[in-house]
Structure formats: C-alpha cells, structure tokens
Amino acid sequence: PPKATGNPLKGLKFYVDPENNALKRAKALKATKPDIAKLLEERIGKQPTPVWVGDWNSNVRRKVEFTVDNAVKQGQVAVFIAYNVPGRDCGQHSAGGVKTAATYRQWIRDMAAGIKDRQAVVVLEPDALGLLEKEGCLSKEQQQERLFLLNDAIKVLRQNPKTIV
C-alpha cells in the first residue's frame, strides 16, 4: 500500500472494549465502594484503550477478529498492541514471547487474518527496538532476526491498506 500522508489517525473513533479491566474492576467494586467504582468507570473504563495480544491468547486470530467485529459494530476502530516477539522484554518483567521466528511469523499472519480487510491500528512490539542493543539481551544474530521479524510483520500487516502500523 502507499505510504500514509498526513496523520492517518486523524478523525478515527477508537474502540472502547466493554470488557476492559477498568470496567471489570468498577463492576466488582460497585457494591462496596460505589464512589471509586464510578470514577473507574467514567474516567478510565469508558476511554478507548488498546487491546494487548500476545502469548497469553490461545487463538490470536479469533481474539483479533472478535475485537474488530465489535469495533466495527460500534463504528469504531480497534487498536492492538502486538507483543509476542521472541525474547520479548529481554527477560525483564514482561519476559516471554513465542520461541521461534517461524512461530512469530505465523502468529503475525494469524493476526492479519483476524483483521481481514477492515480498519485497525497495530502498535507493533513497543519495546522491541528500544531493547535491541541492551547489553546481555540479544546476540548479533538475534538482533538481526528481530529486525527481520519486525520488517516482515510490517509488510504482512500493511498488505491491508486499512491497517495502520
């Protein structure tokens, strides 16, 4: 697809997930702490937030498809954070990700298949570049592999011109 010009996010109405954590917590607190529950619901729960997808999703295609379906029904655009690259977070707090490059490449293709030809925004591996050269994290070969995987993911996701990466 052609490169975006201007601000590709301008004018988009982002998806508010009715199952987001703030709304779940507000519901749990409603009986015992109604004031806090109301604040959580109004100030956080009703705001658009990205949907994180990673190794905790047993079926990323189904999760993405379900989320995009719901966003489309509401006239909104789903925003995802793809967080599953091998060696994610260099063994720190959010360590994990899939084990192999081949698995990651398939995972990204499954994510793209869930979006289909509809509009979505994907924040791709938010700390993958920032930690690329962190001492003791990745060997030179692993750094090259990560760059290859990110490049591949962008190409795959951008095959749909309505997907903003």
Chain CA centroid to CA 117, Å: 17
Banded pLDDT at 139 (limits 50, 70, 90): confident
Which two structure tokens, joined as six digits, stand for 68?
Answer: 């995009």
pLDDT one-digit tens code per residue, 142-164 = 899 999 999 999 999 999 999 99
CB 41, CB 22: distance < 8 Å:
yes
- Residue 2 to residues 50, 115, 160, 162, Cα–Cα distance (Å): 25, 19, 11, 11
Going by the DSSP 8-state scheme, the letter that residue 42 receives in this structure is: I
pLDDT one-digit tens code per residue, 5-31 = 889 999 999 999 998 999 999 999 999
- Which amino acid appears at position 146 of this protein? R
pLDDT at 132 over 80: no
Q: Give me the half-sphere count of Cα atoms (radius 13 Å) on the Cβ side of residue 48.
A: 14
Banded pLDDT at 121 (limits 50, 70, 90): very high
The percent of residues in the chain predicted with pLDDT above 70, rounded, is 98
Other CB atoms closer than 10 Å to residue 105's CB: what's the count? 16
Q: Where are the beta strands (DSSP E) in 13-164?
A: 51-54, 78-83, 120-124, 163-164
pLDDT at residue 149 in the model = 96
Rounded to an integer, the average pLDDT of 55-78 is 96
pLDDT at residue 147 in the model = 94
Rounded to an integer, the average pLDDT of 34-45 is 94
